[in-house]
A and B are shown apart, each in its own frame.
Chain A
Amino acid sequence: MKESTSVPSNNKNGRAGVIAVTLLLMAIAIATLWESREFSSLGSIFPKVIGIALLLASGAALVQVLRCRSAPARGLPASGMLRGVLLIGAVSAWIALLEPLGFAASGLICFVAIVLVTNRDPWTLRRIAFYAVSMVAIVFVFNYVFVELLNVTLPRGRWQ
Chain B
Amino acid sequence: MDLFNHFFSALSIENVMFSLAGVVAGTVIGALPGLTATMAIAILVPFTFTMDPASALIVLGAIYTGAMYGGAYAAILLNTPGTPSAIATTFDGFPMAKAGNGDLAITLACLASVTGGLVGAFSLLMFAPPLATVALAFGPMEYFWLSILGLTLVAALSEGDSTKGMVGACLGLMLSMIGSAVMGGDIRYTMGSQVLLGGIGVVPALIGLFCIPVLIDLVTSRNEHLELRGRVASLRLGEAGQIVRKSKFNLIRSSVIGTVVGILPGAGGSIASLVSYSEARRAADKPESFGRGNPNGIIASEAANNATVGGGFIPTLVLGIPGTPADAVVLGALMVQGVRTGPSLFNEQGSIVYTFIFGLFIATLLMLPVGLALGRYAYRSIIAVPKTLLVPSVVFMTVLGSYAINNNIDDVIVMFAVGVGGWFLSRFGFPPAPIVLGLILGPLAEQGFVQAWMIGSATDNRLGMIFGRPISLIILVLAALTLLYPTFSRIYHERKHKRAVE
Contacts and interface: CB of A to CB of B under 8 A. Distances in A.
A40 B184 contact: yes
A150 B29 CA distance: 10
How many residues of B sit at the interface, in one of the four size bands? Answer: 35 or more
Contact of A7 (B220, B413, B449): B220
B374 interface: no
B25 to A, nearest CB: 10
Interface in B409-436: 409, 412-413, 416, 420, 424-425, 427-430
Nearest to B397: A142
Interface stretch (B275-283, B310-318, B383-391): B383-391
Interface of A is mostly: helix
Contacts of B177: 46-47, 50
Nearest to A120: B222
B215 to A, nearest CB: 7
Contact of B413 (A18, A50, A74, A95): A95
Contacts of A79: 220
Interface in B199-217: 215-217
Contacts of A70: 161, 163-164, 429
B73 interface: no
Contacts, number: 217
Contacts of A41: 184
Nearest to B446: A46
A53 B392 contact: no
Contacts of B101: 1
A42 B425 CA distance: 31
B181 interface: yes
Interface stretch (B339-347, B399-407, B463-471): B399-407
Interface in A3-21: 3-9, 14, 17-18, 21
Given A8-B221, A152-B404, 20 more contacts: A6-B221, A14-B428, A21-B425, A25-B171, A28-B174, A40-B184, A42-B450, A43-B183, A45-B453, A47-B174, A49-B449, A50-B170, A87-B216, A92-B416, A94-B399, A95-B413, A98-B412, A111-B392, A118-B387, A150-B43
